[in-house]
Amino acid sequence: MATNPSTSRGTWNTKLGFILAAAGSAVGLGNIWRFPTETASNGGAAFLIVYLVCVLLIGLPVMIAELSIGRSSKKNPVGAFRALSNNKFFPLVGVWGVLCGVMILSFYTIIAGWTFSHVFVEIFTFAGMDGAASILADFGNGYVNAIFALLFMALTIGIIRGGVSDGIEKATKLMMPLLILILVVMTLFVVFQPGAAEGLRVYLMPDFSMVTPNLVLAALGQAFFSLSLGMGALITYGSYLSKKENIVEAAGYVTLADVGIAFLAGLLIMPTIFLAQAQGVEIYDADGSFLAGPALIFQILPELFAQIGGVLGLIVGVSFFFLLSLAALTSTISLLEVPTAYVIDEHGVKRKKAALYVGLFVLTLSMIISFNTALIDTIDFIFSVIGLPLGGLLICIFIGYFWKTQSAVEEMKNGFKDIKNSRLISLWSIFIKYICPIIIAIILIRTIFS
Ligand code: TRP
């Protein structure tokens, strides 16, 4: 197998560029859609707290682990495991990661397509073109799903073909500040609407009777998905990182950005659900639980935008779906980059070609899913709910018992001079060797057997 010299793999131009790209990977539909709906259907603040604990105790250590593996090996996930140990099993963990990336991307583009099509649904509704609006809003229409998935994939391929600094870094540097701006303005608007208080109460007042094993699993799954962990996305992004940068600090910023934006999205969505209810929109389904998933974002919220009405309703509606599209795009970029980097490193294909081929391959899967959207839940369950924590578990075992935490700490020393005095690092080693794998394993075993 031909391997390109590492010099041609690309690097991040600036530290901020890297942090925004990694935060862009993290911040996605997972934050603005999945987090608020998981929170809503799992007892509000109780879920929020368990989620924060999962992020701190498991997400952050695993993120530092992935970045160290990536920067040390300067390879895609498959090449990385091969470079750092002679063990024949672990490259398969990399293959699993690449596969998870491909499969998650195949349905993620469809949901991303929905968010983008709803920008037009809002515009058509405003213009009184209800026929066109209802065609676009129909998720059962495979052709519409396929067209918007294609559009989204084309954008993603275009950016990945541009390369690490001229493609990914430039695009995310532009999109992330815009995303944050729209989110903050919209949140401020919603929080001060009369009637928002009920939503804020459910979001911020914990009901600990809701904490069940299933809630913990949901929170852990959400932490992995939201931080983009467990499939080597951050091994790949870490492989483009300069030795000058401090991995631990960077991981802290990325986690903070991800959690901060998820929290803000909750402040936006939870009150919005209750505003919609006050306007007579049904927010519970037949068995009394919150309408979550697509219904929440694509039915409840548009009804609210329609009730706001006029140009203001249009602006709020378009901004909201544009915000979601931006968040989704910075995430599809990272999902496509992983298999692309694999093809570049391991099969010696040039980036432009690799991005196109991999993108078209994933698009083929997306086309099938476009016409069979019921597949989404199954693929999501196998490759994200199970797949990502499983990948995370194996990454912990790899560092703890094969590559060794000491080697990872050596890697972290680059760009982190005071690491010797840092008690955090011995804590990190204990977490990666014992605490993270045990907790993840318990939760996974429970899920598989229930
Ligand atoms: N983190 C993204 C979100 O919250 C999704 C995502 C992008 C992802 N890249 C990933 C999830 C890699 C797992 C692994 O929407």
Instruction: Tell me the chain's radius of gyration from C-alpha atoms.
Output: 21
- Mean pLDDT over 338-363 rounds to 97
pLDDT band at 279 (very low <50, low <70, confident <90, very high): confident
Q: Measured from the CA of 231, which atom of ligand 1 is nearest?
A: 14
Residue nearest to atom 12 of ligand 1 (CA): 228
Is 72 a pocket residue for ligand 1 (Cβ < 6 Å)? no
Going from the Cα of 225 to the center of ligand 1, the distance in angstroms, rounded, reads 5
CATH number for the domain formed by residue range(s) 11-449:
1.10.4160.10
Q: Measured from the CA of 335, which atom of ligand 1 is nearest?
A: 9
Confirm if 5 and 307 have CB atoms less than 8 A apart: no
Going from the Cα of 417 to the center of ligand 1, the distance in angstroms, rounded, reads 31
Residue pLDDT, tens place only, 357-371: 999 999 999 999 999
Which residues lie below 8 Å from residue 278, measured CB to CB, with a gap of 6+?
Answer: 195
Confirm if 334 and 24 have CB atoms less than 8 A apart: yes
The predicted model scores a pTM of 0.93
- The ranges assigned to domains in the chain are 11-449
pLDDT computed for residue 295 by the predictor:
75
pLDDT computed for residue 292 by the predictor:
66
- Name 284's bridge partners: 290
Going from the Cα of 231 to the center of ligand 1, the distance in angstroms, rounded, reads 9
Residue pLDDT, tens place only, 217-234: 889 989 999 999 999 999
Q: Measured from the CA of 230, which atom of ligand 1 is nearest?
A: 14
Is 325 a pocket residue for ligand 1 (Cβ < 6 Å)? no
d(CA 35, CA 53): 15
Mutate to test the pocket of ligand 1, among 100, 331, 381, 388 (most ligand atoms within 8 A of CB): 331
Is 23 a pocket residue for ligand 1 (Cβ < 6 Å)? no
**Of the candidates 134, 140, 139, 111, which has an alpha carbon nearest to the alpha carbon of residue 121?**
134
